[in-house]
Amino acid sequence: MSGVKWQAFALVLVGAAGFSLVGLAPAANPNEQVVAPEANVQDRDKINAPGSKVWVFDFKFKGPRLIKVDVPGRGQKVCWYLWYQVINNTGEPRTFIPDFELVTHDRGTVHHDQILPKVQDAIRQVEDPTDFYKIKNSVTMAAEPIPPSRPNAAPRPVTGVAIWDDVDPDSNRYSIFIAGLSNGWAVTDPIPPDTKPVVRRKTLQLDFKRLGDRYLQRSEEIRFVAPAHWIYRGSQLKVPGLPAPEAPK
């Protein structure tokens, strides 16, 4: 092959290689996990069917992390937080009213997400120093609907953070339950001796384990235990005109 032809051939190869590289999707962040909507036998409708009455958000998260902050009125605290993003692929704007609950399985404690502005600002400096994502807390997240992502377009995630400042340092096994990601709910029979039906919400359950001890608490020691679970979990949700368990509305 002559020199001119070889140069032309090389240019074609480089161009083809460049085209292929441009078409590749960027590698996912290994610290992030994506949870897609999944059906549950208690769903009142097929979640992926057109016109379904049950919608579910997509959810992306990083494993819980620790940050030490001087909390006003409480002193210096080791706070736990969960960075997450909500993606609305339901086709319509939907309001997300977050309900985060952290349960320790080995200590038997329950912890609810808290609004701590100074902690949130410290988290922003670590996770989003340029304030590109506009990280929201559970109150500001619910202030306006999550916009729908367009088909065949880049997703439109909304970023938030859940914060806890009272997690038992001796706990090594726990779950985070997230309600509000779906409008799915069901009614089941009362649990004796209670006589009232139990209202259950479609909830995302994320399980974790921590490898260190109370004297060596590091974010790197917290591991996600796959898979994630979409469950129906009992709640304090008040439903006017509660239907019978056999025929939920």
Q: Would residue 74 count as lying in a domain? A: yes
Q: Would residue 243 count as lying in a domain? A: no
The per-residue pLDDT for range 153-192, each reduced to its tens digit, is 888 999 999 999 989 888 999 999 999 999 999 988 888 8
Integer Cα distance of 13 and 19 in angstroms: 10
> Which CATH number does the domain housing residue 38 bear?
2.60.40
Q: Would residue 18 count as lying in a domain? A: no
The per-residue pLDDT for range 229-239, each reduced to its tens digit, is 999 998 765 54
Q: Would residue 8 count as lying in a domain? A: no
Query: Can you list the residues of the chain whose pLDDT is less than 50?
Result: 2-28, 239-249
Q: Could you give the number of structural domains in the chain?
A: 1
Q: Would residue 249 count as lying in a domain? A: no
Residue 244 has a pLDDT of: 44
Residue 187 has a pLDDT of: 87
- Domain limits for position 92: 33-234
Contact 86, 160 (CB under 8 A): yes
DSSP codes, the chain: --HHHHHHHHHHHHHHHHHHHHHSPPPPPTTEEEE-----TT-SS-TTSTT-S--B-EEEEE--EEEEEEETTTEEEEEEEEEEEEEB-SSS-B----EEEEEETTTTEEEE----HHHHHHHHHHH-TT--S--B-HHHHTTSPBPBPPTTS----EEEEEEES---TT--EEEEEEESSB--EEEE---TT--SPEEEEEEEEEEEEE-S-TTS--GGGEEEEEEEEEEEEE-----TTPPPTTS--
Instruction: Phi first, then psi: give them for residue 174, nearest 5 degrees.
Output: -155, 165
Q: Would residue 51 count as lying in a domain? A: yes
Q: Would residue 201 count as lying in a domain? A: yes
| Tally of CB atoms within 10 A around 127 | 16
Q: Would residue 149 count as lying in a domain? A: yes
Residue 238 has a pLDDT of: 54
